[in-house]
Amino acid sequence: MSDPSDSGIEHTLTGDVRIHEGFHSRYLEHDRTIVAYLPPGYDAQSAERYPVLYLHDGQNVFDRATSIGEEWQVDEEAQMLILAGEIEPLIVVGIYNTGVHRIDEYTPTASAHGGGHAAEYGRMLVEELKPFIDATYLTLPSAATTAIGGSSLGGLLTMYLGLHYPTAFGRLAVLSPSVWWDDREILSEVEALPGKLPLRIWLDAGTAEGELVIADARALRDALVAKGWTVGDDMAYLEAPGGEHNERSWASRIGSVLKYLFPRT
């Protein structure tokens, strides 16, 4: 764990945020940074345990100093909603991408654009990172209390991992997913399911992302509905008015995502 203030960069972190650098996996070639937001009142000596949300592109979710332009402001939004009693207290884990290797790690199949190593990334997450987080922090480790999320290729990756690891993740945040990848291969994966999985899914896209993106999001929604998910019950679907394909737009929706996936019970 390192102190973000040591770097000399102006960081914009809210609440108790812990940084783990150089996380190593035997399944992936490149080490990565892991950052964890802990809820207000977190006490390592307490018996209380918390659900966990894992987010891809972790450098973009908490801190403008490390992000591509804007940040998702997940720490500010989670802190505000928890203190207001609008969501259940949770731990949020950001998994940094590794730059030029992002496409390889975030895509389930190889195509003309490269890629095809999402399965290895999934093994890193389920077999190495999740056990590390569960051992380090006071987590509720079951699938029912564990979520995963991301945008763009991270949204595609989230959908893929949800389909392949329903015993690890029970809640999905699928923002502006790259359904187009490899001739919409992810739709074939959904259509091949024998039936609905125990997943609560947030799915969205922005209206300013283009007609093809909206059409793809609707196709994914319809494929999930055909398998038994119900919009308004175990699936939320949003076409965000004016939403663009960038961190600022995803930040504007993250509060709604948190309230849907982690409602105060």
Partners of 263 in the beta sheet?
A: 87
**What is the set of domains in the chain, with CATH numbers?**
4-261 (3.40.50.1820)
- Residue 176: strand, helix, or coil: coil
What separation, in Å, do the N-terminal and C-terminal C-alpha atoms of the chain show? Answer: 32
Phi and psi dihedrals of 88, rounded to 5? Answer: -75, 145
pLDDT tens per residue, range 31-74:
999 999 999 999 999 999 999 999 999 888 886 666 666 767 89
Rounded to the nearest angstrom, the gap between the alpha carbon of residue 35 and the centroid of all alpha carbons in its chain is 13
Quickly state the pLDDT bin for 252 (edges 50, 70, 90): very high
Q: Quick: pLDDT tens for 97-156.
A: 998 899 999 999 998 878 999 999 999 999 999 999 999 999 999 999 999 999 999 999
Confidence of residue 14 (pLDDT cuts 50, 70, 90): confident
pLDDT digits (tens, 9 = 90+) for 167-199: 999 999 999 999 999 999 999 999 999 999 999
Q: Is 35 helix (H, G, I), strand (E, B) or coil?
A: strand
Of residues 186, 143, 189, 187, the one with CA closest to residue 166: 143
Residue from 244, 145, 158 nearest 203 by CA:
158
What pTM was estimated for this model as a whole?
A: 0.94
Q: For 143, which DSSP code?
A: G
